[in-house]
Structures are given as structure tokens and as C-alpha cells.
Amino acid sequence: MRKIVCILLTGWLLCATSCVNKDNNTPMNNIDETMVQSTIAALHEKYGDNSLARFQRSVPQVASLWTSNDGTPEDFQAFCLEHFVDDSAALANMAHQLQANLESLWGCFNKISVDLKLPLHVVGPEPTSLDELFGGYDPSAHFDDDMFQQKIAFIVVLNFPFYTLDEKNELGKTWSRQQWAYARLGDLFTSRVPAECNQQLANQLAAADNYISNYNIMMGHLRDDNGNALFPDMALITHWGLRDELKTHYNEGDSGLAKQRMIYQVMRRIIDQSIPQCVINNDQYEWYPYANKVMQQGKEVKFESEPDTRYQYFLDNFHAMQQVDRYNPMYPTAIQRAFNADMEVSYDEIEQLFTTFCSSPVVAQVAKLIESRLGRKLEPFDIWYDGFKSRSTINEDELTAKTQRLYPNREAFATQGMPSILRQLGFSKEKTDFICSHVTVDPSRGAGHAWESNMRSDNARLRTRIGENGMDYKGYNIAVHEFGHNVEQTITLHDVDNYIMKGVPNTAFTEALAFVFQTRDLQLLGYKDSNPDKEAMETLDIFWGCYEIMGVALVDMYSWHWLYEHPDATVKELKAQVIAIAQEVWNKYYAPLLGEQDSPILAIYSHMIDSPLYLPNYPYGHIIQFQLEQQLKGKVVADEIQRIYPVGRLTPQNWMRHAVGSEVSTQPLLEAAAEALKELK
């Protein structure tokens, strides 16, 4: 332990001495190593050995964040001597008080954000420029500044020191719940990002989200080269709506194949930005995506292509992150924050996990099975092959007729749909009523999402698309997924023993439960699957979904890596590189099985634009989902959810050991897929 403390002390001091505010060239701290050692010695003299390891760790961390504006070196030492808490009962009381106040602060910040973003997220009058400005406002932007100015942040750092990811993974194996809560308090203040940087980042991400939320393709206005309309009138958001529409046409023969090829061509136009600007979210034109021409009232019209807007948002996200980088001594890049801080899994570990999976010979065997089932050579869009799902044999019109009848409006889904889902999964009436009373359903402008609550007196939000005729099957499928998020959000807020432990290790774990719900959507509609190959098919469905999204995640990861190597890149350079990276990943892991060298299709995902570095959570979530599904076999789903999820925000590997008895691994899925192939043969 002493060796670990010394290493950490050196690391924190190096960070402290190198961290400079580039706006005014003043050092971020004014505490040298001599003063740090003097302060540790003074605390040792005052308290003895009882808390030695704790203040040996925490004093250097406080020093790395202390600036001349906070006081002199002598003020620093006096502060540490006054505010270090040695008594265990007093420390526990401080932790309780901090968590109660954080719930009030974070809960209210979150509620304000929800209210201000309603015009942007929920169906209603078209958002005004004022709505967009309010939607981009971050009420918590000044939180860190205020906490440091009030010295509260320093008190937290001094008494609840930070542990690295490696330390949490190792030491956390034997930590008590109280020790975990203390460690999570230690994660609160590891940087001092100015409020203006936080607000700029919030504004940028809100603008990117608004761009994506209003990026619809008018499917009834697409034409093939012969002028034929292949789709009915409907607006599909990219990429989610286009992808989900493509999936529905696997049981329609040649006509379905023609629709899939057209959607693929639309996606290519979006990726390379040759899409006409005038056809985006606009039903006044007919668009021929193959020839890339636009007609209006029977006459061809000239058009301007979208001016690399997609990649400008990507680049602007990077520049906003760069402003935050300067104030993060522990995690000085968005990549490190996304993986080591947010996912709590290293970039290298994720890359190894994904590339090993995509290189497995089992992938080629599954691809050969899909090819035989389709009776044709695979094409690039078959990364979204949906034929292992039960619904692939059911006409979607039939499913939509049923969902529209059951859920004509959001009230019907809230009062009938959500309780029905929970009761079928085995939740008691009392727990069902409790969860449903803490979830509010809204009609979404975008594809749909779930928004958590950060205080127990507020509700989580479920957003899904609900048409004039009611909830179609796509909307229902998304709603079931998002409701899975809401169930996790409610349980891990209300049933966790320490507020600071609320939630899950990272978003992959909430995605895993959302997938558990979503895969049961037909069962929840009353469709019974008596197919003896059901389990094998479900395994292959998860397997193929992992294969698809892992490549997409790698493109996102490699694009950000390239940006940090080329921070002065122009938008045209970024566009060219993202497409080149997508093609490179495609050629290495996909082209040998799905044909077409240099396909850019892996770059279509909208998350790359509105949710920087979020994509790796999806395949990681699929892996976790599979291991969870193995755990759920033969058990009541609700009972296992209520056993597993209240453990809260451990690190991923510690959480998985609690949940399923082993760490996160692709090996169980690879082995199960190989066995499923044998069964189907």
C-alpha cells in the first residue's frame, strides 16, 4: 500500500506542476512538494498512524488543485489541518451530509435541464431560436467552480481521496459498501474545468443533438431510376429509422431487397455528404438517390449538397472537448475521460475485446448461415440482418396494427403498456406501481430516448415516437428498450444504499438491461415462440448485433484518435479521414464476408455526431446482455433484476462478479454461437 501511495503522490505532483491555465499563463497550483510533505507530517503528528494512508493519498491531490486564488501555501496547510476528519463516525456523517446535498443540487440541475429541453425533445410547436438557446443552457456549468470557491470541493478531496481504475478493480474486490461510497465521493473533483468551458461544451452538444434530431428522410419521396416510389409516406430519422426500416424487409423477396438497396444508397449519400440539402426533413421534392437528382412537380431542379455539416458538428465537438482537456490533469483527453473515467474500461482493453471478436472464425460461420438463409450473396447492409429474431417471420403491418390498437397515445402506453410489461416480467403489483409512478412518457421528436432522474422526488422520462394513428411497431420496439433504461434508472436511484452509488458502472450496463427488455417485445405483445431453435437463434442474433456495432465503435474510436494526432484538421480532412477509417475497418473485418471493398457504411451512425465516444458502450452492452441472459435462464427476470441492479455503481468487473459470478468477456458468446451453429445444422 505504501508503494502505491508514493507512486500516486509522485503522479499527482507531476500533474500539478505541469497544469497551467493557458488563458492567463498562471500556474494551476502554488503548492510545492516540500509543502505537501510538511503538511503530511503535520497531520501525522496531529492524528498518528490511524489515517496515515488516507492523508498521504489525499494531501497531494488537494495540492494539485489548489491555486494562488485559493490561498497561500501556509493557507493550504492550515486548511488541511482544520478540515481533515480523523474520526470514523464524523467521516460517515460527512459522507451522509454530502450525499443529501448532492441529491438536492444534481436533482434540481437535472430537472431544470429536462424542462428547458422539452421544446427540443418533445413533439409540439417548432422550436424557436430562443428554445434552442435555453436548450443549450447547462444549469450545472458553474457547479465545480462554486464548489472550489466555497472550499467544499477541497474538503471532499481531502477526506475522500481519488483511486485509479486499476486500484478500484483490485482493492474493490474486498471493499465494504461504505468504502465504495467513499471512493465514489473521491471521484467527484479530479479537475477544475471553468464554468464557461462546461457551458460551451453543453451548447455544442445540444446543437449537435438538435441537428440529428431533425435529420429526417422523406421515404415516400424517394424514387428509383425508373421513377418508382418504393416506400409509403413516412419520415425516418437517420440513422435509427433508416436502419430499422431496412431490417423489416428481409421477408419480402426481391421487392424487399430493392428497398434495402435504396436505403443503403441513401446512407452512402449521407456519409459522403452528396445528399441534396433540400431533401433533408423536406417533403417538397422527389429525390433519386442513385442518380442523385431532384425533381419538383415533374421538373428536375438544381440543388446544393449538404455542405459537410455532419462533419462540422463532429469537429466542433472535438474543439469543445479540447477546451475541457486543459483542465483535466488526470484525464487530459476526451478519449481518456470516455474510457478510464466514464466507462471505467481502458481504450486498449475495449479495442482488444472488439478486434478479437470480429476476427473470430465463428463470424465467418455465422455469415455463411445467413447467406444460406437468404439464398444470395451477402451485401454490406446485411450487417443489420434481422432474420434471427422471431418478428422476422411476422409482417410488420400486423405488428403495427396491434400496437396502434393497444397504444393509440402516450397515456395508453403509460397506464397500460408499462404495467403490463413489468407484470409479465414478474414484478409484484407494488413494485410495478412504484416504478410506473416514477416514469413519465413523452412523445419524442427524435427516435426516442430515456432520461434519468437525479433525485428521488422526480421522475425518469421515456421518450418515443407516437404517430397520429398511435404507436407503430418501430415506436413500440424503441419504447420497450427505453423503458428498460427507465426501470434500471428507477431501481438504481431508489434501491441503492448510498446516493453516490446510484446508477450502473457505465452506460453499457443500462444498455444491457434495455436490450433484455427489447428482445422480449413480441413476448410482451402476446406472441408465443414455440420454435425449438429459439435459444440458438437468440444467441446468433446477439452475436451478429455485436459484430455489426463493434465495427462502428472502432470507427468512432479511431476517428477520435486521429483527431488528437491532427488537432488542426479541417472539416474536409476530417470527413476524408472518417470515411477512410470506416473503409479500412470494413475491409479488414467485413468485406471478406459481406463483399464490396471500401464500403463506408460503418460511418453512418448518428451517435458519432451527437454523442461523442458513446458507441463503444453498445457492443460492450451486448456482451454484458448475453452474460445476463445466461444468468436469467430458468429464473424470474424481475427477481434477478432486483437482486443485481441495486448494487449500484461498482466498476464493471466488480459489478459483473456480483451479477453473474465472472468478469466481462466475449468468450461465453463465442462459445455459445459455435454451439448454436451446430444445433441449427
pLDDT tops 70 at residue 25: no
Find all residues with CB under 8 Å of 566, minimum gap 6, and list them.
573, 577
Instruction: Summarize pLDDT for 420-466 with one digit per residue, the tens.
Output: 999 999 999 999 999 999 999 999 887 788 999 999 999 999 998 88
The CA–CA distances, whole Å, from 463 to 16, 241, 410, 614 equal: 43, 15, 9, 19
Q: Of 54-58, 100-104, 677-681, give the lowest mean pLDDT range.
A: 677-681
pLDDT tens digit sequence for 125-183: 999 999 999 998 989 988 999 999 999 999 999 999 999 999 999 999 999 999 999 99
pLDDT at residue 17 in the model = 38
Q: Which residues pair with 451 in a beta bridge?
A: 461
pLDDT digits (tens, 9 = 90+) for 198-220: 889 989 999 999 999 999 999 99
Cell triple for 282: 423536406
16, pLDDT greater than 70: no
Tens digits of residue pLDDT in 228-270: 999 999 999 999 999 999 999 998 999 999 999 999 999 999 9
In this predicted structure, what is the pLDDT of residue 111?
96
3-class secondary-structure state, position 122: strand
Q: What is the pLDDT of residue 182?
A: 98
Maximum Cα–Cα distance across the chain: 89
Give me the residue label for grid cell 492524528.
47
pLDDT digits (tens, 9 = 90+) for 521-552: 999 999 887 778 888 998 999 999 999 999 99
pLDDT: which is higher, 2 or 606: 606
Whether residue 23 has pLDDT greater than 70: no
Compute the C-alpha angle 399/237/436, nearest 5°: 55
Structural element, H or E, at residue 78: helix 73-83
Q: How many CB atoms lie within 10 A of CB 534?
A: 12
CA distance 136 to 149: 25
Q: Compute the average pLDDT of residues 376-383.
A: 98
Arithmetic mean of pLDDT, 47-56: 95
Those residues whose C-beta lies under 8 Å from the C-beta of residue 509, and which sit 6 or more positions away, are 488, 621, 624, 652, 655
**Mean pLDDT computed over 489-515:** 94
Least confident of 8-17, 268-277, 386-395: 8-17
For the chain, give the percent of residues with pLDDT over 90. Answer: 84
- The SS3 assignment for 215 reads coil
Copy the grid coordinates of residue 575. 470527413
DSSP 29-51: ----HHHHHHHHHHHHHHHTTTT
Range in 227-236, 358-367, 532-541, 593-602 the model is least confident about: 532-541
pLDDT of residue 86: 97
Q: Are 210 and 120 in contact (CB under 8 A)?
A: yes
Stronger pLDDT, 21 or 67, i.e. the higher one? 67
Q: Which three cell numbers stand for residue 581?
A: 477509417
pLDDT(489) > 60: yes
pLDDT of residue 193: 86
For cell 433484476, the residue is 641
Dihedral of CA 668/671/677/679: which sign?
Answer: negative
**Radius of gyration from C-alpha coordinates of the chain:** 26
Give how far Cα 150 sits from Cα of 141, 146, 156, 290, 607, Å.
15, 6, 12, 61, 37
Which 3-state string (H, E, C) describes 396-434? HHHHHHHHHHHCCCHHHHHHHHHHHHHHHCCCCHHHHHH
Percent of the chain with pLDDT over 70: 95
| pLDDT tens column, 553-576 | 999 999 999 999 999 999 999 999
Neighbours of 530 (CB within 10 A): 5
| Residues whose CB is less than 8 angstroms from the CB of residue 290 and which lie 6 or more positions away in sequence, other chains included | 224, 225, 262, 265
Type of residue numbered 651: T
The three state secondary structure string of 529-586 is CCCCCHHHHHHHHHHHHHHHHHHHHHHHHHHHHHHHHCCCCCHHHHHHHHHHHHHHHH
The C-alpha cell 492550515 sits at 78
Is the separation of the CB atoms in 148 and 118 below 8 Å? no
What average pLDDT does the chain have? Answer: 92
- pLDDT surpasses 70 at 392: no
Answer for the pair 524, 483: CB distance below 8 angstroms, yes or no. no
